[in-house]
Amino acid sequence: MAPRIPAIKADLDLSDGSLGAALTGFAAGLFAGTRMAAWLVERIGSRRVIRVCLPLLAASLVGPGLAGDLGGLTASLVVLGLASGLLDVAMNAQAVGVERGYGRPIMSGLHGMWSVGLLAASAVASGVAAAGVGVLPQFAVASGVLVCVSAFAPLGLLADERVHEPRVRVRERRHATLALAVLALGAIGFCSFLGEGAAADWSGVYLQQDVGGGPGLAAFAFTAFAIGMVASRFSADRISARAGPVAVVRAGGLLAGLGLALGLAVVEAPAALAGFTLLGLGLAPIVPIAFSAAGNLGSGSGALGWVVTMSYLGSILGPAAIGFVAHAVGLRAGLVIPAALAIAAAVLAPFARSAAGGAGESVAPSSF
In one letter, which amino acid is 301? S
Residues 156 and 176 in one domain: no
pTM of the model: 0.84
In tens, the pLDDT along 214-263 reads 877 777 888 889 889 999 999 999 999 999 999 999 999 999 999 999 99
Domain with 100, as residue range(s), is 2-163
User: What is the three-class DSSP state of 365?
Assistant: coil
In one letter, which amino acid is 124? V
User: Cα(287)–Cα(185) distance, rounded to whole angstroms?
Assistant: 9
Phi, psi of 351 (to 5 degrees): -75, -10
Q: What is the CATH number of the domain that holds 277?
A: 1.20.1250.20
User: Cα(175)–Cα(121) distance, rounded to whole angstroms?
Assistant: 42
Residues 86 and 195 in one domain: no
From the list 175, 206, 223, 167, the residue with the least C-alpha distance to 360 is 167
In tens, the pLDDT along 20-78 reads 788 888 888 988 999 898 889 888 888 999 999 999 999 999 999 999 999 999 999 99
From the list 337, 340, 310, 40, the residue with the least C-alpha distance to 181 is 310
Give the Cβ contact number of residue 50 at 10 Å. Answer: 22
> Looking at the predicted structure, is the pLDDT value of residue 142 above 60?
yes
From the list 25, 3, 30, the residue with the least C-alpha distance to 88 is 30
Residues 236 and 154 in one domain: no
User: Cα(207)–Cα(204) distance, rounded to whole angstroms?
Assistant: 5
In one letter, which amino acid is 250? R
Specify the number of domains making up the chain. 2
Residues 159 and 176 in one domain: no
Q: Could you say which of 129, 163, 197 is where a domain stops?
A: 163
Instruction: Judge whether 365 lies within some domain.
Output: no
Residues 69 and 11 in one domain: yes
Residues 106 and 244 in one domain: no
Strand partners, 301: 299
Angle 156-230-135 from CA coordinates, rounded to 5°: 80
pLDDT band at 173 (very low <50, low <70, confident <90, very high): very low
Residues 98 and 131 in one domain: yes
